[in-house]
Amino acid sequence: MKNQTLMQYFEWYLPNDGKHWQRLANDAPHLADKGISHIWMPPAFKGTSSADVGYGVYDLFDLGEFDQKGTIRTKYGFKNEYLEAIVALKAHGIIPMADIILNHKASADHTERFTVVEVDPNDRTKILSEPFEIQGWTSFTFDGRQNTYNDFKWHWYHFTGTDYDAKTGKSGIYQIQGDNKGWANNDLVDDENGNYDYLMYADLDFKHPEVIKNIYDWADWFIQTTGVLGFRLDAVKHIDSFFMRNFIRDMNIKYGEDFYVFGEFWNPDKESNDNYLESIDYKFDLIDTRLHQNLFDASKQVENYDLRNIFDDSLLQNHPQSAVTFVDNHDTQRGQALESTIEEWFKPAAYA
């Protein structure tokens, strides 16, 4: 197979000017000349505000078209500009890939009362309280969109957990109680913190049939509306791998095996990557977190690092056909939660 060069066409600290889709469209000829084969675009969905980088996703059906959360455009621009950027990339032989955030929803429209238990943040399998009622931000009605494209409304029972009680003003990790509720099975999500199903905001319950149907409905609408030719999947170690395997399998059946997908599985452990790839039946590729960590260590240790070990335990070494290698990304930038920025002096060697 011909080598592919995928470019992440954004970083965390881009200006909030709404011009990014325009810049991308104008840059398409230059990117093609440089040999870029794929472009990973930032999340195009309405977030918590116009300044949201895209991971505080509010409405997957709003690509910068409706007046919601105090803005029509997203940080990157308007829907029509997003579509024009995709057309421009495809016209120059570049595969446009959308960043997909399915793990959680943010900035709900209304609160609801429901029963929870509080769990230990360091071990989410450990319950700290008896069941009690909170007032949580879990009602998503998308009033600004007024049922355009889809009329589904989200409620507390579509989620597994949340992190804020508006009644008391207290933050914590609250597991929602009810029929067939609870975190995903331990073997279907990462085992950090006991069970890492819950990451942030209102966490989607992938056991709920209405949630599954809405995601499939959205995916068909999104792919057919935008013409994207692939997905980058955010935070997959927090999402039920049984659902994710079936979802991507079904997308490939419907849109072809060339609809390229890779996931952010942020875990450098070799065995964890082996197990995850097996659990999804190798339906999509993964970023090579271990290789990034090795490159970071080399850049820090300088002459004390043995370059013969640079590929040790990496996906590139163990599963080369499933590896998406990278040097740095938006999460590893300085000031971010996964900060591990490779020293500037080593970056040319790392890319090489």
Active-site residue set? 234, 264
Phi/psi zone of residue 19: left (φ > 0), alpha (ψ -120 to 50 degrees), beta?
A: alpha
DSSP summary character for residue 74: B
Read off the tokens for 118.
């509080």
The Cα 260–Cα 262 span in angstroms is 7
Can you give the C-alpha Rg of the chain in angstroms? Answer: 20
Tokens of 126: 């450990």
Structure tokens at 227: 């013409």
- DSSP string for 64-128: S-S-BTTBSSBTTB-HHHHHHHHHHHHHTT-EEEEEE--SEE-S-SEEEEEEEEEEETTEEEEE-
For 124, the token pair is 């989410």
What residues does 202 pair with on adjacent strands?
105
Half-sphere exposure of 282 (CA within 13 A, CB side): 7
Give burial (CB, 10 Å; 0-12/13-18/19+) of 283: buried
